[in-house]
């Protein structure tokens, strides 16, 4: 439904978006995930037509809406997209009804049809009873749902959302998130969703695109991105990771032996990362991927003695900080494993397939 | 054949239009040159003024004087609606010059206290000849311009005046040099020569180095630049134009003014102020109240009618009784109406024909520097 | 044709290029506005500069500059101008900042009323103040001195001095400092100060260490504006300065333009000196404020609380009341009294006698009999209305271009809009005479030269108002309209304008009021038939017709207030502010 190639944009002397490409299929929900300043909002606004890329090409529904080579730039108004903003952007001088009806009036639909569509859209977000109110009489969550209704009332071919939940309280956030998911499923609109919150991105999307400093760090299904990050950034940004630098000392079938700087040998699977002995790598392990043993486990390849430094009880899990060799690792365990600070006689082990081997970024 | 008829018609219309334009032009220039002929009759002026119906008078006279004059004029000639544009002498003169330079013709008749401007206007043909007006011959020669382009319709004599609520009559010296003494520090005021023609005129008299009209008998006052500097040191206040000076005196902001128009003093006394006045030992200047007509006046007949009326018996009666100025007709005596008024011949009168604009500019600049009023 | 190669630094595609390359409504609107603004501001100023180098015969010469540099009065005028501006600004800050503190931060009673009354100087021509204070403060006959004399304290108040000039000028400059600081005063996050107190700093230490630095941009902006505005007080310079023998550059310009023969070049040079002062002040202020980051005046966790004054409450109230009395009540009372009698109070007359013989003749004359003053009133009104509307319109477009487009040179446009701030009205008048009376313009003596000059003069004020009100409107409100399919014009008319309306109306009112009180430009540009009321007032002063002048002043104030009262309700401030507040709402 939407394809963008080679988008480049520089703002204020700095390159904000550096050759980004994106594709969204009909009915697919894609998230642009990344920290502030990574270029995700700029990318979204370029797709919307609010900002013109310096270079690139954008097609929506097969139609070429932007091409730097051919000097084409279809204005936002003509791209037939819906957009929901962080600040809801409901016009305070119009009633809810008029807010939602606005795009239909622009398209010069007949009155009856406008009535029908507005009713349908408000129903979709379950706020039909507020049609005669003004935006300032509604709560934040309600306003955002109205903004959503307005964005889909004219059945656009693409729906864009720019951090729509950022201004809402935590509890409201969950409800509206659910609404968005429901609505997208029902209406089957191709959707691009920008956020810095990885739990949002993971829970909502069919595909997650992680961005960092203007480039795409990794894209894929949520599970894929979570379980198999291909670089340090994604590993650290999506979920938490422990990073341990090391050097490949031996290649074995299906994997490597990596020696950490303090001399421990870790056995890992290669999981697609091809490299040679002598190469510096970064091992990435998620806190929940450790196993805790009270005695040295027998027959387990990667296991080491560990010492508990600190613990934080979160209700459903416990987060520990443990010292293993020279490293301080974050370990997550279920509450029934009750470890004390002074426990020195525990062992940590990791399964080979849970360790990600990543290219070590050159630190300057 | 059809085409030929059309062509003939078009050409005919164009020719007709051309004839009409030429005729109008000829008529206009004939009309204008009518006003340049050796003598005009009052009836001609009245007829012409009836068609024009309005008059714009640029005047530096005090507002109440303007009102008195215009009201009397309009009573006699109700078909002319007259309006006055008032400004200080140099200001109104400058405005006229600026307008003429840009071909903006608003003014019909002008009176400005900056008398030096008139000969220049005559030379630049800004003002028209008025020696063909019916009343011209009834006026004393002293008042007439040699070029015939302007004429004095009155004279204002300057006096020394004081507020009797603050100073007793016998405390007031007659020698202007006495006011440079410490007793009189910060107690004196005069007009501002840079914005007021009447003050410019009096300071021309005081300076002692401006040319004097040989027909006047007043002696030079023996004051000069030194006296002016001494007065500035002694806190002389330059109080602006006529009205401001009067208000300064009446309100008591300053108890003494060294020079003011007798007309203003008389008017203030009429309004209930308790003022005294006299002529200082050094004598005084008679300031010509010069009237002139715009050479391209928007209402040429009305303009001349008004100037003529100012010189007529009726106009001069208003001038001497209401405006309280010395008058200029051969057949009327100022002293019959205003006893105690110095006769014109005893006063000092400036010879404006002998002054060039550069001299004026230099004089004004020097005045400014001496009196602390420069630009 | 742009390359396919994805190298980085390629030129932006202008917002206005479309598939078919048509000319768009918005481009036409924008470029027309830019051209008009550039012309209105730059053309007269360029002529002002050029004019100083041309002799009357049309030869290029430095002679006038040399003469000006050597003229002793030039130096004196420069010195006086600097002294009055600087000291006046200092006084304005010394009064304005504490006042803003009292009104904005403390619980002094009647804060709202004080705030409104300090608007009075904005609708009063400065000449009013000058006249009032002469009536009050003349050493011999001033009412205050008479009062003091009756009390046996002698006449020591003399307003006709340099000090008097500074005093009266500063009364006019306080509102600028006040209004620019009272807002930030209100918004300082109390927690920032509380953090300082908790760290152990004293109240005073907190004020100097935390509050004051946070307020510095606002205070310096106010001071800057006050400084520049001090040269707009032609009325005060003429009415008090001249008799006091204090020559200012503004009155010097007027003199240059009115002596016989007129000295255009000198006036131009004097004007350029004033321009240089203002420009230097702007540069200085920018440097003082530049290096700090003032982004978080509020910071998160916004808490505002009024400082409780306890038993100082009523002392503060008295202080504020005194200010209001001095600025508004006293001058206007005196003016009204003066308008009722022909001559100023003569020595020995009692107040009651004066009131009993109240003479309304000048009011009657101005309103019913005198054609010229009636014309002047209506002229002033409709000239100001038209000029204000045009100024706001141009400013709105300029603000839109500056904030919402990527047009290159849009910052230059904002700068050009602000240039007239450095030029007092009297200088703009001179520039207009230079610029609009030379080929191909022949506007001398017409109403158009006045209108064009008024527009240029108040463009900065209009631009600030338009800019601020446009800033209140979130770009997303406009973006969503565009995404909903609206064309630029439709979005502008259905979203931008309605939401900007409150701010624009207020801006219009402020610009209108500013134009009705402009004396400096009016006195140089008026012509018979095109009288302006501000000029009528000034002329009456020059003629010494104080009763007429004060009557005119009263009429002028009443008329202007009436117009404002009619127009202001159009600026219902309902939705913009409320929406901003509710956007932070948290209940589902």
* Residue A14 resides in a domain: yes
Predicted pLDDT at C347? 62
Question: Pairing state of beta strands B150-163 and B237-238?
Answer: unpaired
Q: What percent of chain B has pLDDT over 90?
A: 32
CATH number of the domain that A345 lies in? 2.40.50.100
- A191 and A314: one domain? no
Query: CA of A159, closest CA in chain C: separation in Å?
Result: 11
- A310 and A194: one domain? no
Q: Which residues, other chains included, contact B219 with Cβ-Cβ below 8 Å and sequence gap of 6+?
A: B283, B348
pLDDT in tens, B180-215: 999 898 899 998 887 788 888 899 999 888 888 888
What is the rounded average pLDDT of the residues B144-157?
91
- A131 and A50: one domain? yes
Please list every residue in chain B whose beta carbon sits closer than 8 Å to the beta carbon of residue C542.
87-88, 91, 195, 240-241, 243-244
What is the rounded average pLDDT of the residues B213-228?
87
CB C372 within 8 A of CB B63: no
Query: CA of C145, closest CA in chain B: separation in Å?
Result: 11
SS (H, E, C) C336-395: HHHCCCCCCCCCCCCHHHHHHCCCCHHHHHHHHHCHHHHHHHHHHHHHHHHHHHHHHHHH
pLDDT in tens, A27-67: 999 999 999 888 899 999 999 888 888 899 999 988 898 98
What is the rounded average pLDDT of the residues A142-151?
91
Query: CA of C259, closest CA in chain B: separation in Å?
Result: 6
Flag whether residue A41 sits within 8 Å of chain C, measured between CB atoms.
no
The residues of chain C scoring below 50 in pLDDT are 1-22, 292-302, 573-588
Predicted pLDDT at C354? 62
* Residue A117 resides in a domain: yes
pTM of the model: 0.76
- A92 and A214: one domain? yes
CATH ID of B156-284+356-371, from 3.40.50.300, 3.40.630.40, 3.40.190.10, 1.20.150.20: 3.40.190.10
Predicted pLDDT at B259? 92
* Residue A364 resides in a domain: no
* Residue A21 resides in a domain: yes
Q: What percent of chain A has pLDDT over 90?
A: 20
Query: CA of B374, closest CA in chain C: separation in Å?
Result: 6
- A231 and A248: one domain? no
- A173 and A248: one domain? no
CATH class of B39-153+287-332: alpha beta
Predicted pLDDT at B3? 62
Give the 3-state secondary structure of residue C542. helix
Predicted pLDDT at B299? 92
Predicted pLDDT at C239? 87
* Residue A59 resides in a domain: yes
- A160 and A224: one domain? yes
- A46 and A99: one domain? yes
- Six token digits for residue C342: 């022909």
Higher pLDDT, A279 or B149: B149
- A144 and A219: one domain? yes
- Considering only alpha carbons, which residue of chain A is nearest residue C5? A55
Number of domains in chain A: 2
* Residue A86 resides in a domain: yes
pLDDT in tens, B341-361: 888 888 899 888 888 878 888
CB B215 within 8 A of CB B350: no
Edge-first strand order for the sheet with A55-60 is A14-24, A2-11, A55-60, A63-67, A72-73
d(C-alpha C575, C-alpha C228), whole Å: 35
Confidence of residue B13 (pLDDT cuts 50, 70, 90): low
User: Average model confidence (pLDDT) for chain B?
Assistant: 85
Q: Do domains B39-153+287-332 and B156-284+356-371 have the same CATH topology?
A: yes
- For chain A, the straight-line distance linking the first and the last C-alpha, in angstroms and rounded, comes to 41
Chains B and A, touching by 3 or more CB pairs within 8 angstroms: no
Confidence of residue A342 (pLDDT cuts 50, 70, 90): low
Give the 3-state secondary structure of residue C54. strand
Edge-first strand order for the sheet with A327-333 is A290-293, A346-350, A302-313, A318-324, A327-333
What is the rounded average pLDDT of the residues A343-361?
79
Instruction: Give the rounded distance of the alpha carbon of B281 from its chain centre.
Output: 26
Interface test with B, best of C80, C160, C273, C543 (most B CBs within 10 A): C543
Number of helices (H), then strands (E), belonging to chain C: the values are: 30, 0
The chain C residues in contact with chain A (CB within 8 A) are 1-4, 6-13, 15, 17-19, 474, 476-477, 479-487, 490, 494-495, 498-499, 575-576, 578-579, 581-588
- Considering only alpha carbons, which residue of chain C is nearest residue A68? C2
- A131 and A150: one domain? yes
- A249 and A202: one domain? no
Chains near A (3 or more Cβ pairs under 8 Å): C
- For chain C, the straight-line distance linking the first and the last C-alpha, in angstroms and rounded, comes to 52
Counted across chains B and C, CB pairs separated by less than 8 A come out at 145
Chains near B (3 or more Cβ pairs under 8 Å): C
CB B258 within 8 A of CB B188: yes
Geometric angle at alpha carbon C152, from C149 and C157, rounded to 5°: 45
> CB distance C481–A81 less than 8 Å?
no
Confidence of residue B4 (pLDDT cuts 50, 70, 90): low
d(C-alpha C8, C-alpha A14), whole Å: 10
Rg (CA), chain B: 24
Predicted pLDDT at B114? 84
- Six token digits for residue C160: 């006709």
> CB distance C582–A141 less than 8 Å?
no
CB B150 within 8 A of CB B130: yes
Q: What ranges do the domains of chain B cover?
A: 1-34, 39-153+287-332, 156-284+356-371
Predicted pLDDT at B14? 67
- A312 and A192: one domain? no
- Six token digits for residue C434: 């230079």
pLDDT in tens, B301-333: 999 999 999 999 999 999 998 888 898 999 988
Confidence of residue B21 (pLDDT cuts 50, 70, 90): low
Predicted pLDDT at A206? 93
**ipTM, two decimals:** 0.75
Q: Which of A80-89, A205-214, A249-258 has the lowest mean pLDDT?
A: A249-258
Q: What percent of chain A has pLDDT over 70?
A: 96
d(C-alpha A147, C-alpha A44), whole Å: 17
Question: Which structural domain range is residue A84 located in?
Answer: 2-235
CATH number of the domain that A86 lies in? 3.40.50.300
Predicted pLDDT at C490? 86
Confidence of residue A363 (pLDDT cuts 50, 70, 90): low
Please list every residue in chain C whose beta carbon sits closer than 8 Å to the beta carbon of residue B87.
539, 542
Rg (CA), chain A: 25
């Amino acid at each position: 439904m939407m394809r963008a190639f080679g988008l480049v944009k520089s703002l204020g002397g700095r390159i904000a978006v550096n050759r980004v490409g994106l594709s969204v299929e009909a009915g697919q929900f894609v998230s642009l995930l990344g920290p502030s300043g990574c270029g995700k909002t700029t990318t979204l606004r370029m797709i919307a037509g609010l900002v013109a890329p310096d270079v690139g090409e954008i097609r929506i529904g097969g139609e070429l809406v932007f091409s730097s080579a051919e000097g084409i730039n279809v204005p936002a108004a003509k791209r037939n997209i819906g957009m929901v903003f962080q600040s809801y952007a409901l016009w305070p001088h119009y009633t809810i009804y008029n807010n939602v009806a606005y795009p239909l009036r622009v398209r010069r639909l007949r009155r009856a049809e406008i009535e029908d569509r507005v009713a349908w859209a408000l129903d979709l977000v379950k706020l039909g009873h507020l049609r005669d109110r003004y935006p300032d009489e509604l709560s934040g969550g309600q306003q955002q749902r109205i903004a959503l209704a307005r964005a889909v009332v004219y059945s656009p071919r693409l729906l864009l959302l720019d951090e729509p939940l950022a201004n809402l309280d935590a509890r409201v956030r969950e409800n509206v998130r659910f609404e968005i998911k429901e609505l997208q499923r029902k209406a089957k609109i191709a959707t691009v969703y920008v956020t810095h919150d990885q739990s949002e991105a993971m829970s909502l999307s069919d595909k997650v695109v992680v961005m960092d400093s203007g480039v795409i760090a990794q894209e894929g299904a949520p599970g894929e991105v979570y379980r198999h990050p291909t670089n340090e950034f994604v590993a650290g940004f999506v979920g938490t990771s422990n990073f341990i630098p090391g050097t490949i000392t031996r290649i074995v079938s299906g994997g490597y032996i990596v020696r950490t700087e303090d001399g421990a040998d870790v056995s890992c699977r290669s999981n697609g990362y091809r490299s040679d002995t002598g190469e510096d790598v970064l091992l990435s392990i998620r806190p929940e991927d450790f196993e805790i043993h009270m005695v040295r486990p027998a027959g387990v390849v990667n296991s080491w003695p560990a010492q508990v430094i600190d613990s934080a009880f979160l209700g459903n899990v416990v987060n520990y900080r443990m010292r293993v060799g020279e490293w301080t690792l974050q370990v997550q365990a279920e509450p029934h494993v009750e470890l004390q600070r002074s426990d020195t006689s525990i062992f940590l082990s990791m399964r080979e397939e849970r360790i990600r081997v990543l290219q070590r970024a050159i630190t300057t | 054949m059809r085409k030929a008829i059309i062509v003939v018609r078009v050409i005919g219309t164009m020719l007709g239009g051309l004839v009409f334009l030429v005729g109008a032009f000829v008529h206009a220039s004939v009309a204008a040159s009518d006003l340049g002929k050796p003598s005009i009759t009052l009836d001609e002026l009245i007829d012409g003024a009836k068609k024009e119906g309005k008059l714009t008078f640029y005047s530096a006279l005090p507002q109440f004087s303007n009102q008195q004059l215009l009201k009397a004029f309009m009573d006699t000639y109700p078909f002319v609606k007259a309006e006055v544009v008032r400004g200080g002498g140099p200001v109104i003169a400058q405005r006229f010059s600026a307008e003429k330079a840009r071909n903006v013709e608003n003014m019909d008749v002008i009176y400005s206290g900056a008398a030096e401007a008139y000969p220049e206007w005559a030379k630049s043909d800004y003002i028209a000849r008025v020696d063909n007006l019916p009343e011209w011959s009834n006026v004393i020669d002293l008042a007439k311009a040699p070029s015939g382009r302007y004429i004095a319709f009155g004279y204002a004599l300057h006096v020394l005046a004081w507020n009797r609520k603050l100073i007793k009559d016998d405390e007031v010296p007659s020698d202007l040099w006495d006011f440079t003494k410490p007793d009189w520090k910060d107690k004196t005021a005069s007009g501002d020569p840079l914005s007021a023609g009447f003050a410019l005129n009096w300071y021309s008299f005081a300076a002692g180095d401006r040319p004097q009209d040989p027909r006047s008998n007043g002696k030079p006052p023996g004051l000069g630049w030194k006296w002016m500097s001494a007065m500035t040191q002694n806190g002389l206040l330059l109080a602006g134009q006529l009205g401001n000076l009067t208000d300064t005196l009446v309100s008591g902001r300053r108890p003494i003014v060294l020079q003011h128009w007798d007309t203003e003093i008389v008017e203030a006394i009429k309004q209930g102020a308790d003022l005294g006045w006299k002529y200082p030992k050094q004598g005084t200047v008679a300031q010509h109240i010069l009237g002139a007509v715009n050479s391209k006046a928007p209402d040429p007949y009305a303009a001349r009618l008004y100037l003529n009326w100012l010189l007529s018996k009726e106009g001069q009666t208003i001038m001497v009784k209401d405006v309280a100025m010395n008058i200029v007709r051969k057949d009327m005596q100022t002293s019959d109406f205003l006893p105690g008024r110095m006769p014109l011949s005893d006063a000092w009168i400036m010879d404006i024909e002998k002054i060039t604009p550069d001299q004026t500019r230099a004089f004004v600049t020097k005045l400014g520097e001496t009196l602390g009023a420069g630009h | 044709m742009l390359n396919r190669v994805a190298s980085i630094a390629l030129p932006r595609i202008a917002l206005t290029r479309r598939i078919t390359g048509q000319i768009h409504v918005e481009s036409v609107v924008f470029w027309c506005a830019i051209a008009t603004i550039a012309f209105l501001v730059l053309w007269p100023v360029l002529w002002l500069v050029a004019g100083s180098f041309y002799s009357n015969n049309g030869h290029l010469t430095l002679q006038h500059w040399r003469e000006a540099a050597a003229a002793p009065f030039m130096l004196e005028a420069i010195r006086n101008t600097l002294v009055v501006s600087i000291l006046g600004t200092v006084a304005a800050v010394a009064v304005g900042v504490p006042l803003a503190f009292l009104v904005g931060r403390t619980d002094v009673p009647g804060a709202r009323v004080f705030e409104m009354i300090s608007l009075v100087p904005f609708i009063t021509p400065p000449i009013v103040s000058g006249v009032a204070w002469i009536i009050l403060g003349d050493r011999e006959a001033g009412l205050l001195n008479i009062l003091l004399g009756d009390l046996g304290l002698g006449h020591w108040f003399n307003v006709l001095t340099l000090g008097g000039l500074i005093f009266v000028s500063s009364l006019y400059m306080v509102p600028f400092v006040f209004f620019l600081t009272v807002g930030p005063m209100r918004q300082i996050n109390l927690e920032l100060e509380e953090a300082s107190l908790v760290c152990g700093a004293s109240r005073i230490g907190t004020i100097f260490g935390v509050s004051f630095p946070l307020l510095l941009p606002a205070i310096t902006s106010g001071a800057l504006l006050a400084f520049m505005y001090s040269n707009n007080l032609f009325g005060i310079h003429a009415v008090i300065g001249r008799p006091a023998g204090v020559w200012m550059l503004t009155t010097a310009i007027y003199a240059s333009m009115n002596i016989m023969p007129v000295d255009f070049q000198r006036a131009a040079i004097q004007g350029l000196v004033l321009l240089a002062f203002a420009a230097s002040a702007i540069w200085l202020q920018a440097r003082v404020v530049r290096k700090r980051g003032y982004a978080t005046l509020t910071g998160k966790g916004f808490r505002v609380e009024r400082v409780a004054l306890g038993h100082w409450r009523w002392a503060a109230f008295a202080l504020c009341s005194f200010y209001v009395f001095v600025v508004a009540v006293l001058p206007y009372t005196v003016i009204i009294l003066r308008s009722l009698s022909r001559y100023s109070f003569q020595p020995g007359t009692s107040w009651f006698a004066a009131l009993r013989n109240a003479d309304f003749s000048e009011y009657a004359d101005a309103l019913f009999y005198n054609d010229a003053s009636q014309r002047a009133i209506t002229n002033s009104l409709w000239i100001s209305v038209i000029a204000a509307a045009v100024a706001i319109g141009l400013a709105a477009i300029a603000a839109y271009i500056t904030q919402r487009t990527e047009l290159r040179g849009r910052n230059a446009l904002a700068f050009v809009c602000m240039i007239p701030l450095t030029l007092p009205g009297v200088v703009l008048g001179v520039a207009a005479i230079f610029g609009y009376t030379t080929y191909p313009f022949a506007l001398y003596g017409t109403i158009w030269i006045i209108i064009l000059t008024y527009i240029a003069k108040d463009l900065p004020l209009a631009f600030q108002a338009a800019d601020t009100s446009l800033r209140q409107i979130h770009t997303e409100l406009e973006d969503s309209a565009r995404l909903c399919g609206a064309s630029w014009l439709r979005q502008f008319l259905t979203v931008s304008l309605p939401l900007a309306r409150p701010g624009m109306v207020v801006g219009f009112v402020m610009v209108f009021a500013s134009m009705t009180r402009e004396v400096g430009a009016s006195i140089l540009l008026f012509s018979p038939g095109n009288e302006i009321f501000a000029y009528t007032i000034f002329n009456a002063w020059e003629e010494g017709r104080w009763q007429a002048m004060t009557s005119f002043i009263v009429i002028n104030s009443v008329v202007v207030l009436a117009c404002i009262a009619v127009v202001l309700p159009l600026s219902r401030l309902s939705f913009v502010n409320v929406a901003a507040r509710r956007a932070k709402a948290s209940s589902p």
